[in-house]
Amino acid sequence: MSDLFSLKDKTALVTGSNTGIGQAIAVSLAKAGASVICAGRSSVDETIGLITKAGGKASSLKLDLSDPMAGKDIFDHLGPVDILVNNAGIIRRNDAVDFTEEDWDAVMDVNLKAVFFLTQAFARAVFARNGTGKVVNIASMLSFQGGIRVPSYTASKSGVAGLTKLLANEWAAKGINVNAIAPGYIETNNTEALRNDAARNKAILERIPAGRWGDAEDIGGAAVFLASPAAKYIHGAILNVDGGWLAR
């Protein structure tokens, strides 16, 4: 049974793996046996240190997806990559009536355009070697809900959900599983301000049936599952890891 969740002899590329959810995913994949390429625009040394300390294998890749075409040729220079986790993302906040074109484009470039073209490059490499692969996209609660003051983020994450399904439709019969994880409220550096706001923290916890914020490792476990043989017949799914938030 344990082999169903083993990633032994697999190579995974995780974008935005320097901290938070991306870091947890990278460490979790490594603990499951994968060799992990930790990609980011800032240093991933901490993540590599955590993986090495746990007895895993990791390497670094400088990849700045603020240029959405930055990854279009990277698979020409790497060995075979079996798993792609599209985690890198950014957010900009402002009232919709005041939102700028610059903030719209910056978010859409990283969160959606880069995801598509990096995944396209991954698929081309997999098909060229007649291999198989797993793609795990990071969606959001805002793939399903509207949110407020984050128009480009909501649009991009709704796009990630749709793109996940489209690519699954095209590639399921060709050996590539494409799925996504939609994290709920996760305890990371990015949510520290929310957790420190007593009123917001209380309101959030009251909405979560599990009664707690998620740990980044909760997303890591979901990523291992979707990347593993246990998920071989799962295509186009968006797995909510949200403590029951959307069920409320």
User: Residue 49: CB partners within 8 Å, gap ≥ 6?
Assistant: none
Is 153 assigned a catalytic role?
Answer: yes
d(CA 96, CA 102): 13
Q: CB of 154 within 8 A of CB of 198?
A: no
Q: Which residues of 200-210 are buried (b: 16+ CB within 10 A; e: fewer)?
A: eeeebeeebee
**C-alpha separations of 210 from 20, 144, 202, 222, 248 in Å:** 21, 19, 13, 17, 11
Q: Which of 153, 213, 225, 245 is catalytic?
A: 153
User: Which residues form the catalytic set?
Assistant: 153
